[in-house]
Amino acid sequence: MKRSKVSNNVIRRLPRYLRKLDELTEAGISRISSSDMGQQLGLTPSQIRQDLSCFGGFGQQGYGYSVPALREQIAAILGMDRGYRAILIGVGNIGHALIDNFCFSDWGVTLSAAFDVKSELIGSSLNGTAIYSMDELERYLEENPVDIAVLTVPKDAALPVTERLIAAGIDAIWNFTNIELTGPDSDVLVENIHFSDSLLSLSYYISERRDEQQTK
Amino acid sequence: MKRSKVSNNVIRRLPRYLRKLDELTEAGISRISSSDMGQQLGLTPSQIRQDLSCFGGFGQQGYGYSVPALREQIAAILGMDRGYRAILIGVGNIGHALIDNFCFSDWGVTLSAAFDVKSELIGSSLNGTAIYSMDELERYLEENPVDIAVLTVPKDAALPVTERLIAAGIDAIWNFTNIELTGPDSDVLVENIHFSDSLLSLSYYISERRDEQQTK
DNA sequence: TAGATTGTTAATCGATTAACAATC
DNA sequence: TAGATTGTTAATCGATTAACAATC
């Protein structure tokens, strides 16, 4: 697999391809052409072929792509078969929801532990995930392989906890707090879920549309 | 305010600017130059000036930007002052977390009601938001102004509920389900929060980095 | 006034689309 | 074989960066 600096835009489309391929599998469809796929995703056939060709030729001329084969290829490109391990920090409302409802294993990730400061949570377990005290964080990271820290702590705890994680040598943070962690300082990977950014974008698009309708 | 087709990339950066400006306000900083701002966000000064100039000249030569003034301008561009109203559909884990913890009003949006099918929830209220039966959805939409539907239903309910929303004339959906709603069919605005897409992107970047380190 | 920094125009860079030979 | 569709190269389009006159 060549990894010669594939652009962000391409990477962000790969999970959508995967999701679409899963939908096709469920619908019993086992082959698809780039033009059908493009139609269903609102993309041009060229773009899909161009994207996939960053990683190799997965299709067959005159035929298209095998749905299950392409699905496996994309899963591998995304690292779903690498057995990454995650811990979750901050079992508040959103952390709780993730532990209970988000199926990490569907995406090849194992959630191995959770951490919180609230004594009534420590020692219990949720959906099979044990909850430890924040005091045990460093020791746990020393003794267990962890690739991803899921950050679901309150706003004020975001930066201090991030510093502890970085000091403990964590590689990647999945950030659900509304704090901008991406500083130029450390080289930890940060992937953000900013609810508010998303809602504000939607708010913009609604406003744009209404203004257009006004003008007409 | 001119709205002559501003590019997506620009729109997606505006909420980050807003967030940074709020941080600056909290830190007691009342003016900032495009180069300082760029440094703090990892963007070039040019890009920030270019982005802002899509909407007008908010700065002052030789001085920079007034933090509170720019903050208000961006808030207005994003539609935060338009009083949009939202309802939430599906009071499961994630819906519950949003009602309890996500401060809609911070972003100018009012959450006016929630809907679910579970009889034990119907009639109760969470954090001041009343929960209605799904049967009342259409009636509610007829009688109340609603701009945004927050979709937090289980996977299987996603498409049928979306169809009901569209039939009832809803304009915009904030989609938390893992289903691809963006079809070419309807012209409803859809903004997605796809947890899995985000996690898989992170998984890709981790894999990319590790492969690079291998090669070295 | 001199220094700083904007808004904007032009230059560069990168991403998307189109076209087409290769081939299943 | 003929039709379909890929992978890839070239053309186009758009976004980012650089430069600089305007001016606070």
**Minimum mean pLDDT range among A45-49, A211-215, B111-115, B198-202:** A211-215
Q: What is the per-residue pLDDT for A174? A: 98
- Looking at chain A, the whole-number percentage of residues with pLDDT higher than 70 is 96
pLDDT band of residue A184 (cuts 50, 70, 90) is: low
As a whole number of angstroms, the longest Cα–Cα distance in chain B is 64
Tell whether A131 and A95 lie within a shared domain: yes
Handedness of CA B85, A98, B41, B32 (dihedral sign): positive
* CA A37 – CA B122 distance, rounded (Å): 41
Report chain D positions within 7 A of protein CB atoms. Answer: 2-9, 14-19, 22-24
Point out the residue among B11, B109, B212 whose CB comes nearest to the CB of A201: B11
Residues of B with CB below 8 A from A175's CB? Answer: none
B95, part of any domain = yes
B123, part of any domain = yes
Tokens 């690079």 found at: B212
| Domain range for A149 | 84-196
Burial class (CB in 10 A: 0-12, 13-18, 19+), B214: exposed
Nearest CA in chain B to A22: B179
For chain B, the average pLDDT equals 94
Pairing of strands A129-133, A31-32: unpaired
Tell whether B120 and B22 lie within a shared domain: no
- The answer to whether A207 CB is within 7 Å of strand C is no
Is the predicted pLDDT of residue A208 greater than 90, yes or no? yes
Tell whether B115 and B185 lie within a shared domain: yes
Tell whether A192 and A128 lie within a shared domain: yes
Q: What is the per-residue pLDDT for A82? A: 98
For B28, how many CA atoms within 13 A lie in the half-sphere containing its CB?
Answer: 0
Tell whether A45 and A104 lie within a shared domain: no
Is the predicted pLDDT of residue A2 greater than 50, yes or no? no
Is the predicted pLDDT of residue B216 greater than 80, yes or no? no
Q: What is the per-residue pLDDT for A1? A: 41
**Minimum mean pLDDT range among A3-17, A195-209, B62-76, B96-110:** A3-17
Closest CA to B96 of B163, B180, B175, B153: B153
Domain boundary among B48, B77, B106: B77
Tell whether B71 and B89 lie within a shared domain: no
* Spatial distance from the CA of A15 to the C1' of C11 (Å): 35
Nearest CA in chain A to B10: A201
Closest CA to B7 of B65, B43, B40, B53: B53
Is the predicted pLDDT of residue B183 greater than 70, yes or no? no
Is the predicted pLDDT of residue B141 greater than 80, yes or no? yes
B207, part of any domain = no
Point out the residue among A97, A183, A207 whose CB comes nearest to the CB of B97: A97
pLDDT band of residue B213 (cuts 50, 70, 90) is: confident
pLDDT digits (tens, 9 = 90+) for A111-126: 999 999 999 999 999 9
Is the predicted pLDDT of residue A20 greater than 90, yes or no? yes
Residues of A with CB below 8 A from B99's CB? Answer: none
**pLDDT mean over A35-55:** 97
**CA torsion angle A8 B180 A194 A206 (round to 10):** 110
Tell whether B95 and B154 lie within a shared domain: yes
Q: What is the per-residue pLDDT for B184? A: 52
A114, part of any domain = yes
pLDDT band of residue B1 (cuts 50, 70, 90) is: very low
pLDDT band of residue B2 (cuts 50, 70, 90) is: very low
Is the predicted pLDDT of residue B180 greater than 90, yes or no? no
Tell whether A110 and A54 lie within a shared domain: no
What total number of domains does chain B contain? 2
**Minimum mean pLDDT range among A26-30, B173-177, B181-185:** B181-185
Is the predicted pLDDT of residue B140 greater than 60, yes or no? yes
A191, part of any domain = yes
pLDDT digits (tens, 9 = 90+) for B80-118: 999 999 999 999 999 999 999 999 999 999 999 999 999
B147, part of any domain = yes
B153, part of any domain = yes
Point out the residue among A14, A198, A206 whose CB comes nearest to the CB of B84: A206
Tell whether B111 and B186 lie within a shared domain: yes
- CATH number assigned to the domain comprising residue A140: 3.40.50.720
Tell whether B71 and B102 lie within a shared domain: no
Tell whether A190 and A119 lie within a shared domain: yes
pLDDT band of residue A214 (cuts 50, 70, 90) is: confident
**Minimum mean pLDDT range among A2-6, A33-37, B194-198:** A2-6
Domain boundary among B77, B100, B125: B77
A215, part of any domain = no
Tell whether A191 and A104 lie within a shared domain: yes
DSSP B188: -
- CATH number assigned to the domain comprising residue A17: 1.10.10.10
Is the predicted pLDDT of residue A86 greater than 50, yes or no? yes
